[in-house]
Structure 1
Amino acid sequence: MLKTEHLLSALLLLASAGLLHAATPTALPGIPSPPAASAPASASASWPGLAAAQKRDLRSRYAAWQALPDSEKQRLRQAASALAAMPPTQRDALQARFAGMDKLHRDGWLLGAQLGTFYPRLQPLFGFVPDAERAAVIALLRGLDATQLEQLSLVSMRTPPQERDALRAQLLGLAPAQRDAWLREKVGH
């Protein structure tokens, strides 16, 4: 059975493409495609008819999809298929749970299921990084395993706001082989 985190990620990708109610395994990579007849009215709007903000949002979500590792895309495709196969009441309940999340945390799911799971706790340290650091930060986070992400979550939550930039710079400056020891030291293990 797929984890709820994967279903939430799939829900974000489907919702962002306007395909939530028209999801099929072939229409899933978060890429807008012609909506089915059962798709919500907002999904049937043609590209020229979308507002500039909607277009920006769809472009950023598409870019987020493109940036995901292939393994994450595959897990999300499976989750999206499972989501599409759910009874409507169960899918609607999951959609309501997702819609009830703070937008900041909801958008963390754009990073994929693994990072989306940790994002609420990583957000203090990584939620607002300069554009020039963004790619390096995402690569660093994707290079960490679940244990390291858990440790980094603790570090993120414990770090006072005035120390976050320096801590993030220190972490980004470490060689990958040094990160595990650095995290254990920061957590106190």
Structure 2
Amino acid sequence: MTRIEPRLLLLVLLPALTQAAPATGLPGAGERAIPVPEALDPQQRWAALPPARQQDLRARYAAWRALPESERQRVRRAAAAVAALPGAERDALHARFLDLDRLYRDGWRLGPKLGAVYPQLQPLLGYLPDTQRAPMLALLHQLDAEHLRLLAVLSQRTPPQERARLREQLLAVAAADRGAWLRRRVEGR
């Protein structure tokens, strides 16, 4: 597994941290900067961006809005730390992030807590039906590190044809019972 520094998360969510985010030509994950003339007003700058870039920025903003406030605070602290780095170090960090597989980059949109375990959770979360997305993300943000670890084990062990059922069962378990339920499932009971 590739180990990622939490401050790399900033490179995924950075456009959502600034007021001018939707109108910037900042590069997204896996792409280079798109030149957008600074003389244009924000609406014109937005319209000058390719549709795929607009969609990416909307997705980043939605991801930012979906984060719990504690995760947003962690991202803000990371933003301050990255902003304090020398330009060459920031560029190197950004290049390192762009070199990651898209699976790892996209997982960081879920915030530092979930981004760190997303590669292990991806088999379970990669193809969520729209109706399960919000409840599942809320549930994941409630889990502590140990419960996320257990869920990651289940995610890796569960065959593709059984993942939908596992998600349904997990969502049906009361919050107070989730830890015990996860332990029982991992232990095979």
The TM-score, its normalising length taken from structure 2, stands at 0.83
Please, which moves more after superposition, 72-81 or 44-53?
Answer: 44-53
- Report what 1:168 is aligned to: 167
Instruction: Determine the structure 1 residue equivalent to 2:95.
Output: 96
Structure 2 Cα separation of the partners of residues 126 and 41 of structure 1: 30
Q: Kindly tell me the number of residue pairs found equivalent between the two proteins.
A: 172
Q: Which moved more, 1:47-56 or 1:139-148?
A: 47-56
- Give the partner amino acid of 1:130: P
1:124 partnered with 2:123: yes
Q: Letter of the aligned partner of 2:171 in structure 1?
A: L
Corresponding position of 2:61: 62
Find out whether 1:42 has 2:41 as its counterpart: no
Which residue of the partner structure matches residue 106 of structure 1? 105
Alpha carbons of structure 1 residues 173 and 98: separation in structure 2 relative to 1, 3 Å = same
Asked whether the equivalents of residues 137 and 172 of structure 1 are also in contact (C-alpha less than 8 Å), the reply is yes
The one-letter amino acid of 1:8's match is L
- In structure 2, how many angstroms separate the alpha carbons of the residues matched to 1:118 and 1:10? 16
Amino acid of the structure 2 residue aligned with 1:188: E
Does structure 1 retain, via aligned residues, the 8 Å contact 2:120–2:153? yes
2:139 maps to what in 1?
A: 140
Whole-angstrom CA distance in 1 between matches of 2:33 and 2:157: 44
Q: Which runs of 4+ in 1 moved over 4 A?
A: 33-36
Q: 1:173/1:31 Cα in 2 relative to 1: closer, same or farther (>3 Å)? A: farther
How high is the TM-score relative to the length of structure 1? Answer: 0.83
Contact 1:30 1:62 in 2 (8 A): no
Alpha-carbon distance in structure 1 between the residues aligned to 2:87 and 2:72? 24
> In structure 2, how many angstroms separate the alpha carbons of the residues matched to 1:31 and 1:103?
26
Amino acid at match of 1:44: V
Deviations 1:69-123 (A, max 9, x none): 1111111111011111112332223212211111122111111000000000000
Q: Match for residue 6 of structure 2?
A: 6
Cα distance in structure 2, aligned partners of 1:164 and 1:41: 38
Structure 1: which 5+ runs fail to align? Answer: 18-27
Partner of 2:17: 29
Residues 123-164 of structure 1: CA deviation (Å, up to 9, x unaligned)? 001111101110011011011011110111111111111111
Amino acid at match of 1:6: P
Which amino acid letter does the alignment assign opposite residue 36 of structure 2? S
Structure 1 stretch 94-103 or stretch 112-121: which is displaced more?
Answer: 94-103
Cα–Cα, structure 1 residues 176 and 41, in superposed 2: closer, same or farther, change >3 Å? closer
* SS of the residue 2:17 aligns to: coil
Conserved? CA contact 2:36–2:49, under 8 Å: no
RMSD of aligned alpha carbons: 2.3
Taking a change above 3 Å as real, the CA distance of residues 140 and 43 of structure 1, as seen in their structure-2 partners, is farther
SS at match of 2:47: helix
2:12 and 2:60 in contact (8 A); partners too: no
Report % sequence identity: 51
Give the Cα separation in 2 of the matches to 1:70 and 1:150: 22
